Amino acid sequence: MGCTTILVGKNASFDGSTMVARTEDAPSGVFRAKKFVNVAPEEQPRKYKSVISKVEIDLPNNPVRYTAVPNAILDNGIWGQCGANEYNVSMSATETITSNERVLGADPLVDCGIGEEDIYTIVMPYIASAREGVTFLGNLLEKYGTYEMNGIAFQDENEIWWLETIGGHHWMARRVPDDSYVIMPNQLGIDKFDFDDAFGAKKEFMCSADLLDFVKKYHLDLSIDGDFNPRHAFGSRSDADHTYNTPRAWILQRYFNPTANTYDGINADYRPDSDNLPWARIPEKKITVEDIKYALSHHYQGTEYDSYSKDIHSVKKGTLRPIGINRTNFLGLVQIRPYMPDELKCLQWLAIGSCVFNAIVPFYTNINRTPDYLANTTNQVTTENFYWTNRLIAALCDAHFADTASHIERYQLKVQSQSTALINKYDEKFIAEKISKDNAKDFLEKANENIADELKVQTDDLLDKALYTASCNMKNKFSRSDA
């Protein structure tokens, strides 16, 4: 999938939470209906079979409950994507990344291996920490192989790990520095790796058991000075990267570090086609949920590449792949709050459809069921669920961007403010009333229903405004009415 990922370490976030966010973007011309669900242990398969690769895997017999955002129609597999389990551990799977001929010639991809369709489902219910997620998936990759290149995030309240696959069976992982953020745009990104740590204490790095031997055997280390750069060894540096991948990292590093570097002109520190954009950076201010939503809705506004620029003479408009793209299925952000009781720690924020035109909304994950408004998605177009309503709004507003922009802005502010207020209300009520563990799920499910009910009211209102504006701007309009 053509996705964009943001990882935020706990000391870089506004409240000390770890935050992992990713858009799931479908291929060009494809739109995948999504739903938000809870998967109970009895619903988890014990023998898993992939739809795409046909690989069969015997899974452990001790799964725990977890949330997911699978495809509403399972003709192409589950594609569970992101969520949190009952241990308050989260993962996001996957970000499709790149490689090169030398790597793929040395360790070819495996047609009958695992891929994005499978990874979330076969890992999420079995891991009790972010580190455990890395090793659990690493073992699966070494045993079954993979048919594509992917990046996967693992998260708990203390740390975030980012794993990148290398060829068919190899992998490496790096811990996100606590004071930093990472932008991942469909390209292998890790630019530093310490093999001594990976084969020793594993404080910041982990990898497949024979990765160093693999690098040496196939002459993959391209360094002149002996400072190994995995981006050079395992990644890509193509013309396609410079229109599809590097521009997204460029625009978001520009957003989070606006004064630290120059970003415009031929002599800029970093440009849209720069191959040396750092993997991890310390932001100039702490990062909020709203920052992440804005970032993952970006269409290069403020630059000559803006998809919605009013400059009809701009030759660069629309030449770079935007982050806020038409074919985003959803944006999922998991925030793990270390200062809250275990029952309240995890929030799963969701925005459905093209992020330029939607709002992001939080839901508690320590539940047994999700609100119907987000869970009842089918292939039938209807305003009775969040997915299809957002798809309709985006299609209407895109064609009338300037005329509907104020409606979108007010909707985003209202929904995100209102839902945050509801989270604050239910957090405080849970603590003040000392809700027991036995009653926690029922309490949090009612809170989620309240959030979803208010969300539907505001989303229906936005659809009404967008439809009215689009109707007034139809090409067959005529200003004279009946006499």
Which residues are within 8 A (CB) of 356 and not within 5 positions of it... i.e. 6 or more apart? 297, 299, 324, 394, 397, 398, 408
Which bin fits 119, alpha (ψ -120 to 50), beta or left (φ > 0)? Answer: alpha
139-144-146-152 Cα dihedral, nearest 10 degrees: -30
Q: Which two tokens stand for residue 140?
A: 């699966």
Q: Which two tokens stand for residue 20?
A: 């992992």
Distance of CA 99 to the CA centre of its chain: 20
Distance, CA of 404 to CA of 411 (rounded, Å): 11
Distance, CA of 430 to CA of 427 (rounded, Å): 5
CA–CA distances in Å: residue 66 to residues 124, 175, 196, 369: 7, 23, 35, 10
Query: Among this protein's residues, is 3 annotated catalytic?
Result: yes
Q: Strand order of the sheet with strand 170-175? A: 82-84, 90-96, 150-155, 160-166, 170-175, 205-207
**Could you give the residue ranges of the DSSP H alpha helices within 194-237?**
195-198, 211-217, 230-234
Backbone angles phi, psi at 34, to 5 degrees: -125, 155
Distance, CA of 391 to CA of 388 (rounded, Å): 5
The label of the residue with tokens 């408004």 reads: 373
Q: Which of 263, 482, 415, 447 is nearest to 343 (CA)?
A: 447
377-378-381-383 Cα dihedral, nearest 10 degrees: -30
3 state DSSP class of 78 = coil
**Residue 182 host element (H or E):** strand 181-184
445, 383 contact by CB (below 8 A): no
Q: Which two tokens stand for residue 121?
A: 């489902």
Question: Catalytic residues, which ones?
Answer: 3
